[in-house]
Amino acid sequence: MSSSNPSIDTFADLLRERLPDDAVITEPSAISKAVRLWNAQVTARPAVVARCRTADDVQAVVRAARSAGVPLSVRGGGHDWAGSAISDGGLLVDLSGMRQVAIEGDEARVAGGATVSDVLDAARPHGLAAAVGTVGSVGFAGLTLGGGYGTLIGVVGLGVDNMLSAEVVLADGRIVTADPRHEADLFWALRGGGGNFGIVTELRTRLHPFAEVTTGMLAFPWDQARPVLRAWRTLMATADDALDVMFGAMSTPDGRIIFTLPTWAGDPGQAAGQIDRVRAFGDPVLDDVDRRALADAVHGLDEAFPHGGDYHLGARMMPGLTDDAIEAFVQAGEAMPGTCALNVHHAHGAATRVKAADTAYPHRDEHLVVEIIASWAGGDGAAESAWVHDTENRLEPHALPGGWANLMARDDPHAPDAYAANTGRLLEIKAHYDPDGVFTATPLPKR
């Protein structure tokens, strides 16, 4: 079916000369189905969807879009929350069909549309795992390019620290490989600067012998939140790198809880003692920690934040848990609507031993990233969204400048500080590789 825009029809015909006919979608209802993202609040719609299967497909699509002057955006794993994956009325370069993962020794070659679960499932039979986040449906490339927090952070670092190379389609349509010896500036920028420099059709990442870990949830009654968080602070001040303890707040049918997600990636013989240290934070109302596949643990959290829900996210980055910060966190939890959650990542160990200038991702001192997650079923989400903003403001006095760009909307006032001292170099590389600003995956400060 043709659109009502003759220029878009002409562009779609141009794409069909370069791709299989069924790879080009212009019919509105088919587009709506094709572009469903994790966050249903993203209502923008492209005029054309190009379903790519290879880097050559992506190259052909980028060149066609540039020659026709059509704005483009890129969908990888589809877990975008802020809507940057959709250029309203433009072209969507859809990589969701490119989910191949090839294991080569202790490395993986990961196609641009693969998810975290795709990578872990492929590595698992080899006894290996990648530096990944906590939700399996997240796109692996997007997570990695933006930094890549995860439960193995203390022993393997961030996702960007494990990235070995990337195949990239640039704004001029060239396909290049970026690694420490080739396109070194681009390689530096990709490790934390996100998808702002080209379309990553494949990346190569280091794998580690952590297919199985001791992990799960230990949750405590909400009235123990303050002592639990103080106990967390005491333990993590001296904990082994192999112990990661995410924490947060959520509601259950039986009431609000303060939860921890301990993961021990060290000697299995020491696991019981390490988890007992977390168990001693309080009186657990939920105790589900065991030796299990990391792939299963990550995939198991997908249903906590299901695809196609209504979400509004926020975040703050804090240097640690002072008593005042604990109080602000608890107050935010007490004001939290029942369908919302707080989820806190802890950057420690290996991630803090990389110099801030070595990758575009600059946050290398020990810190916390507080994810503020509003979700709702029905209604306009006004109360839930207001809670996100209130929580950001509540945590602001205890926060660091900037933050994690993956959790920022394009108009986030903290975006100018997201890359700290690396901003100048990042913008110079952006001007070199994408002078026309074709790619806008995550917020970059303006010159």
Which of 60, 94, 128 lies at the terminal end of a domain, its last residue?
Answer: 94
pTM beyond cutoff 0.75:
yes
- Domain check: are 231 and 198 in the same one? no
Q: Return the structure tokens found at 120.
A: 């872990």
178 and 124 in a common domain: yes
> Are both 241 and 380 inside the same structural domain?
yes
Do 172 and 225 sit in the same domain of this protein? Answer: no
Q: Do 57 and 146 share a domain, yes or no?
A: no
H/E stretch holding 279: helix 271-279
In 253-304, the DSSP E strands lie at: 255-264, 286-293
Is position 414 within any domain? no
* Residue 216 and residue 330 in one domain: yes
Do 58 and 198 share a domain, yes or no? no
Could you list the pLDDT tens digit for every one of the 447 residues in the chain? 445 565 888 999 999 999 998 999 999 999 998 888 889 999 899 999 999 999 999 999 999 999 999 999 999 988 878 888 888 999 999 999 999 999 999 999 999 999 999 999 999 999 999 999 889 999 999 999 999 999 999 999 999 999 999 999 999 999 999 999 999 999 999 999 999 999 999 999 999 999 999 999 999 999 999 999 999 999 999 999 999 999 999 999 999 999 999 999 999 999 999 999 999 999 999 999 999 999 999 988 888 888 889 999 999 999 999 999 999 999 999 999 999 999 999 999 999 999 999 999 999 999 999 999 999 998 999 999 999 999 999 999 999 999 998 888 878 888 889 999 999 999 999 999 999 999 988 778 776
- Asked whether the beta carbons of 92 and 111 are under 8 A apart, the reply is no
In a domain, 176, yes or no: yes
**Last residue of some domain: 94, 123, 153?**
94
User: Do both 332 and 305 map to the same domain?
Assistant: yes
Pair (311, 162) in one structural domain: no
Q: Does residue 395 sit within a domain? A: yes
Read off the CATH number of the domain in which 356 is found.
Answer: 3.40.462.20
Instruction: Return d(Cα 399, Cα 420) in angstroms, integer.
Output: 14
Q: Structural domain of residue 368, as residue ranges?
A: 212-407
Q: Does residue 413 form part of some domain?
A: no
Q: Structural domain tally of the chain?
A: 3
Asked if the structure places residue 303 within a domain, the reply is yes
Q: In what order do the strands lie in the sheet with 255-264?
A: 286-293, 212-221, 255-264, 243-252, 341-347, 367-376, 310-318
Q: Do residues 304 and 218 both lie within one domain? A: yes
For residue 111, give the 3-state DSSP assignment.
Answer: strand
**How far is Cα 86 from Cα 92, in angstroms, rounded to an integer?**
6
- How much is the CA Rg of the chain, to the nearest whole Å? 22
Among 33, 64, 94, the domain boundary falls at 94
- DSSP H helices, 368-445, are 382-395, 423-433
Compute the distance between CA of residue 165 and CA of residue 183 in angstroms, rounded to an integer.
10
Looking at the structure, do residues 118 and 62 belong to the same domain, yes or no?
no
Question: Are 393 and 252 part of one and the same domain?
Answer: yes
What backbone torsions phi and psi does residue 397 show, to the nearest 5 degrees? -60, -15
The whole-angstrom separation of Cα 141 and Cα 123 is 16
**Angstrom distance (rounded) from CA 409 to CA 315:** 10
